[in-house]
Structure 1
Amino acid sequence: MDAMLTPELSALQARIRTFIADQVIPLEGDPRGGAHGPDESLRRELIERARRAELLSPHAARRYGGLGLSHVGRAVAFEEAGYSMLGPVALNVFAPDEGNMHLLEEVATPAQKEQWLRPMAEGHIRSCFCMTEPAPGAGSDPSMLATTAVPYQDASGEGYVINGLKWFITGADGARLAIIMAMVPQVGATMFLADMATPGITLERNMDTLDRCFPGGHGVVRFSGLRVPASAILGELGQGFRYAQVRLSPARLTHCMRWLGAARRAHDIAVAYARTRMAFGKPIGQHEGVGFQLADNEMDLHVARLTIHHCAQVLDAGHLGLHESSRAKVIVSEAVWRVADRCVQVLGGQGVTGETVVARIFADMRAFRIYDGPSEVHRWSLAKHIIKGHRPAGTAA
């Protein structure tokens, strides 16, 4: 795959690889990285290092301070960033901000872009995407959306009053911007933009989760009588679900890119260990029980990378279909999970300790098979598509 890159992308890949090795990996043990992700001071330090290296926000348009990379370029840059769990934070390509920036570029008004997109792309503020709700609200089934936005009109003008409860809201703690999905009566699902400091928004708590790589962790957010003006509507009324797909299809793929880098890191550590750890008279990598696991890792990494780059090329050519996005998400999330699991096994006792980052990668990566849609929901969607007689793009007849 590297041989297929343009000279410019190869040079960028080398620059990011060096930056991650020299400027990011040494900070992985920093105590400012807690149970709910790196704190704001660590995030800002990482952002400044990337800014000085001219690597900040490679996905964002140049007019907002980014590098304006194509999706294929992002596949290269994001994989290299993902080699360290702090790398996506440093390059400002972590979730949910990266996906939110893409959504704002596609849908927001010029004024909204200046207010929110520019400071996000410059790394000055963070954001959250408020869609998932506890039962009986929306989870894997977005049609169960329970948060409401009721129109009002008074002396101050027209707007909406938002009420509802959201959870698993990544990055809510410390975010400046909230993108809120709510149901407008007789209109449908609509997205709204709100400053997290606005009265009526309460971060009730942070949820304790296996992963700890996302700044701000995952929060429970309540909206109680939140009043937003009509100018806070993102896009058009009633188009929330359509915009969610505008955001989610590329975001699923960029998740794949980042986690591929993490899986490659775990594999590299396992290979180094298998070359030097002796057992029964030879390095353990020379025993089939270990060597075959490393071989399976190589194959899973290869298939994952091919899948990502194919979908990136499709995106650059026009549009990535929902079913192709689902297929890629399942293929890659389960492939990199198998890689991480095998690496723990190869390392033996070392694999379940903090002596290497493999245990941390293993724990963080487990959630990827759930985030942005669990594998079972994607398989169910694909199965319905197949039964109807359709085939995802790129599938042979």
Structure 2
Amino acid sequence: MNVLVIGNGGREHALAWKIGQSSRVDRVFVAPGNAGTALDAENVDIAPSDFPQLIKFAKQNNCGLTVVGPEAPLVAGIVDAFQDAGLKVFGPNKAAAQMEGSKAFCKKILRQADVPTAEYRLFRDADSATRYIKDRFPHEGEDVPVVVKADGLAAGKGVTVCRKAEDALEAINQIARDKIFGDAGNQIVIEERLDGQEASVLAITDGHTIVSLAPAQDHKPAFDNDEGPNTGGMGAYSPTPIVTPSMMSEIEERVLVPTVHALKRSRRPFRGVLYAGLIMTNQGPKVLEYNVRLGDPECQPILMRLKTDLIDILEATVDGRLAEIEPLQWDPRPAICVVMASDGYPGDYTQGHAIRGLSEAAQLPDVKVFHAGTTLKGSDVLTAGGRVLGVTALGDSIATAKLNAYTAVKKIRWEGAWCRKDISDKAQILPS
């Protein structure tokens, strides 16, 4: 069959690469893709928001399955549009995608399902949110253990973890008054700050059966030691020792299953990837947020390790027969993804810098360089985003995987390139 992947980031490159390994797949198209997907698949110059043209292309090119990568088209209803056109498509419909499209809606479902999560308040304007912070924390210099979030989609950047009242008030100003995230800031969620290590547990569900993927750990803050502003993710590794097999069972029982049931009861049955962003507190795992697609960069190390044919999993989900597939097979070796970013990210950055050393990195064993923000100009690969590459490597241990990934990173250069140097170091404090 032919498969269409929608999106242009590192997640979509990893999806196209993995789908292309299936013996059942003839051609993989990526719309619009990037310089990396141009090597592993066929790029199509159609924007993810152009539903009519995507549907027309899928029909004309006999695409037996379309896989939606990013959250924005899912929240906008691309799955509904494809289904109405009689096409097979992987991902949740518009109603179910509100689990990521609205943090307030997600919190409501978590409360209904009795899933452990942070206490929260919802505000519809900056003034009421500001009054709440000033009334609750009147003393200058006191710890303000809250997190301020834009309700809607903000490319992973609409979250501010606060320590002082000034942090919270500034976040409220940026979200609700300056509208730096646009309409995503029409509502504000303020919730209690939870302390502990974060983990990502991704599961695929057809609304009845839940198949968990290998757990991973993302690194959201920009700089080493989890300092600096939040980003879309500066690296990830899988598996993470913080999620033991017994912890995984608890997460499935207390988090994933109740959430899927609550969505079904709300007449929003979920089919696709349900990604729980968790924090491991002293009281056990609690949900920070849900995403409705594969995480980026968690997707890259997870798919590096997956040995089961991905097409079999995706098709079974769309057809509602996930219970029939065999248990997933995994490479026992850990994998690590290091994100290489543009100077200035997650703030302002320049684009169009030529990237050198990609072919040298690609020749290293157990390494795959996934492209995120890249474009082709003739034969040159240029930077075209904040997060540019996801350098991913396998190794016999987490330490070896890290060494392999950073060995590849050192071979790649462009003006202003940078990365965190401590991806996966958290695993070293736990038995691996």
When normalised by structure 1's length, the TM-score is 0.32
Question: Whose helix fraction is larger, Structure 1's or Structure 2's?
Answer: 1
Question: Whose strand fraction is larger, Structure 1's or Structure 2's?
Answer: 2
